[in-house]
Amino acid sequence: MTSSYLPALPHSAISEPFKDIFFVTGTRKWHFMDLDWQFSRNMTVVREGDELTIFNSVRLTDAGLIELEAFGKITNLVQVGGLHGVDDAFYRDTFGVTYWAQPGAGQPGVPVARELIEGGELPVSGADLYTFKHSKVPETVFRLNRDGGILITCDAFQNYVASDEFFSEESTKVMTDMGFFTPTNVGPVWMQAAEPGPEDFATLAQWSYEHVFCGHGVPVIGGASAAYSETFKRLFDI
């Protein structure tokens, strides 16, 4: 029988940049805007006790899954942004996770078990949630209130500083021309699809945080809120 899930593609080893926060970079292949894209994407995993919560799922190889399960029990799965989630069904069906997503988000055929609502219960403790109000694509931002403040984001916050080993040559060229390789940036394709207004970024510019784990690009460790506030000012004049 042919699997309905996308295959596992090459990915990095799992790192632990902060205690109980794990990070892995993998590959995404996508046909979009009449182009065949191949670029990198990230998954962040937070551990509480013996439970793991996955943000921005990336299907890992069998060896990668064994490594991940050694850290704890895969319990929750969070769709942070509406353009991500192609591997959500794999994790839900394989591990029986509780699937969290913003109202109106989720993936076709993957029912949302718990809705992400500001002020409501979240899959991890000691966290805040911001939901974009002026975007055509569902998008949220999590803040973990530890280590000076850590954001877990999807496409609205990116930090591509250069192409990496998970890119094709064609996508590297196209995405260079599109301005993707700009540190602490707002995702260019997300900007086109979501058509965000400045209001959400004006609110987020007031948030305090030091670090960001994005859906794309390397983690921002230290000085993140100041860097992104400058980006919001440049893009939205706020």
DSSP state of 4: S
Task: Report how many helices (DSSP H) and strands (DSSP E) the chain contains, helices first.
Answer: 6, 12
What is d(CA 26, CA 28) in angstroms, rounded to the nearest whole number?
A: 7
Interval 176-214: pLDDT, tens: 999 999 999 999 999 999 999 999 999 999 999 999 999
What is d(CA 229, CA 40) in angstroms, rounded to the nearest whole number?
A: 25
Residue 98 has pLDDT above 90, yes or no: yes
Average pLDDT over residues 160-180: 96
Average pLDDT over residues 67-87: 97
The whole-number pLDDT of residue 1 equals: 40
Interval 30-70: pLDDT, tens: 887 788 999 999 999 999 999 999 999 999 999 999 999 99
pLDDT band at 2 (very low <50, low <70, confident <90, very high): very low
Interval 99-110: pLDDT, tens: 999 998 988 888
C-alpha to C-alpha distances, 129 to 24, 42, 107, 167, nearest whole angstrom:
22, 19, 20, 31
Alpha carbon 157 to its chain's center: 9
Average pLDDT over residues 157-172: 97
Is the pTM of the predicted complex or chain greater than 0.85? yes
Average pLDDT over residues 135-151: 97
Q: What is the percentage of the chain residues whose pLDDT exceeds 90?
A: 93
The beta strands (E) that lie in the chain are given as: 15-18, 21-32, 35-48, 51-55, 73-78, 98-101, 114-115, 127-131, 140-144, 150-152, 211-213, 220-221
